[in-house]
Structures are given as C-alpha cells and as structure tokens.
Amino acid sequence: MAARQIVLDTETTGLNARLGDRIIEIGCVEILARGVTEQRFHRYLDPERDVEDGAAKIHGLTREFLADKPRFAEVAREFVDYVRGAELVIHNAEFDLEFLDQELARAGLGKTLDHVAGVVDTLALARELHPGRRNSLDALCERYLVNNAHRTLHGALLDAHLLAEVYLAMTRGQESLVMELETPAATAVAAASVDLARLHVVRASAEEMAAHEAVLDGIEQAAKGGSVWRRPVSRA
C-alpha cells in the first residue's frame, strides 16, 4: 500500500467515454496515515458538449453552469501533479479510469497508471467482503454508519469524502475489535486477535461466588432439577 492515497470520484456528461462523453467534475481527497487530510483537488470542467438529461438528473450539473469552467486539458498537469505517486481509491474504478485515460490522452499525458502507484477498486473490495449484497456507495454508507443524509445529488467531491470514510471503515482490520456480523470469518478472526500475555484476569471474590451459587440454587428450584452449569464436564 502506498503511503499516500487519493480517493477520487468523477461526474460525467453520460456513461460512455468511447462515444464522446466527458468528465465535468473531478473530486479528490487525500488519506495519510489512515486519516483524511485537508489536501484536496476539486474542479468543475467545461466538457465542450451537451450534458445528457439522465446524467444531469443524477448530478444536477448543466451545460450552462459549466460553460465558463476550464477544460480538462487546462487543469490536467495540476491534476497529475496532485495524484503523482499515490494509490488511487475509486468506487467502480474501471468507469472512472476509462474517462480519465481519455482525458489525459487528449492532454498528451499518457494514462492514469503512468502517474500513480496503483488503484484500489472499492466496489470489487465490497463485493468480496459482502457477496450478494448491494454495494453502491449509499448502501455502503448505511452498512458502515457513514452519514450521507446531505447527499441529495451525486457530487464528485462529496462522494470522494464519503468514499474515504467508507474505505477506512472497510479496511480497519486489526485496528478495531468491533466487527460487523457479516464480516468474513477470516477477517473477523484477524481483527479480533488478542495478545493473551497482556490480558489481566480478575477472579471472582468469595461474595461474588456465593451470589452466583445462590442464583444457581434458584434456577434448580424453579426447574425442579439440576442445572447444566453444575453437571460434571465429560472428558471424551
């Protein structure tokens, strides 16, 4: 894992880069030492073409709003400098990378992977952790208790912030003993590993033992028979 990670999201004029759709918003946030920093990259972009109605309903960005914004080529070098050497974290990375690669190629800057250390696809990660479940960003926010109540429309910077919180929760590993019930067993075991040498055993006092025996007496009286807690352990 790279020391520096960049969580990235884009909004586009439509869904098909090969048919000429373009990036109209790009949002990035930085993760260092498993914490989100204030170093971010956010630009609205003039796509030099119309925005499809279906896309506009998702992100709310119109051709009129974007008309006076810079073209991608004008911010491409700044973007490359920002992500250089970092590991990108993207939800459904294939989609964003196809658009980024085409935009960088137009700017004469090669491909995304020419400038970064690698890419983590959080959609693929989520499908591995939660097979058969919904793994959209909204679903993951709900699953990992990330507040997305303010997300009425998609937005690249807002979604990058939400994805950063989700990604940190998804990859918390041994940093927390609090695991979801649906977490895969292998991950749960690793996360719940405890150094037994550091455990401090507190033994029950005589008064506590007497109170415990009294509770068992009550259970046996109510059940009119011996309790399983007092049966001798069978050694097979």
Q: Where residue 142 sits, what CATH number does that domain have?
A: 3.30.420.10
Q: 46 with 163, same domain?
A: yes
Q: 218 with 148, same domain?
A: no
The DSSP 8-state label assigned to residue 190 in this structure reads H
Q: 93 with 208, same domain?
A: no
Q: 101 with 44, same domain?
A: yes
d(CA 121, CA 91): 5
For 67-106, how does the pLDDT look when each residue is reduced to its tens digit (9 = 90+)?
Answer: 999 999 999 999 999 999 999 999 999 999 999 999 999 9
| Alpha-carbon torsion, ordered 83, 88, 93, 95, to 10 deg | -10
d(CA 97, CA 81): 17
72 within some domain = yes
pLDDT at 230 over 80: no
206 within some domain = yes
Tokens linked to 107:
């700017």
- Classified as helix, coil or strand, 49 is coil
Residue 116 burial by Cβ neighbours in a 10 Å radius (0-12, 13-18, 19+): buried
158 within some domain = yes
Report the share of the chain in percent with pLDDT over 90.
64
Q: 148 with 221, same domain?
A: no
Q: Does residue 42 contact residue 23 with C-beta atoms inside 8 Å?
A: no
Q: 39 with 134, same domain?
A: yes
Q: Does residue 22 contact residue 75 with C-beta atoms inside 8 Å?
A: no
* Lowest-pLDDT range of 6-20, 110-124, 151-165, 216-230: 216-230
Q: 156 with 225, same domain?
A: no
Q: Which residue has the tokens 């007497």?
A: 210
Our count of domains for the chain comes to 2
Q: 109 with 47, same domain?
A: yes
Average pLDDT, the chain: 84
pLDDT at 174 over 60: no
- Model pLDDT, residue 60: 87
What is the distance, to the nearest Å, from the Cα of residue 144 to the centroid of all Cα atoms in its chain?
Answer: 9
Q: Does residue 115 contact residue 84 with C-beta atoms inside 8 Å?
A: yes
Q: 213 with 137, same domain?
A: no
64 within some domain = yes
d(CA 156, CA 195): 42
191 within some domain = no
108 within some domain = yes
Query: What number of other Cβ atoms are within 10 A of residue 137's Cβ?
Result: 21
Run of H or E residues at 158 = helix 156-170
Which of residues 170, 191, 222 is at a domain's end?
A: 170
Q: Could you say which of 59, 91, 115, 154 is catalytic?
A: 154
Q: 105 with 152, same domain?
A: yes
Q: 46 with 139, same domain?
A: yes
Which of residues 118, 152, 170 is at a domain's end?
A: 170
Q: Does residue 142 contact residue 157 with C-beta atoms inside 8 Å?
A: no
96 within some domain = yes
The DSSP 8-state label assigned to residue 67 in this structure reads T
Q: 134 with 209, same domain?
A: no
176 within some domain = no
Please indicate whether residue 161 is annotated as part of the active site.
no
Quote the domain boundaries for residue 213. 202-230
- Of 22, 3, 20, 2, nearest in space to 12 by CA: 22
d(CA 123, CA 94): 10
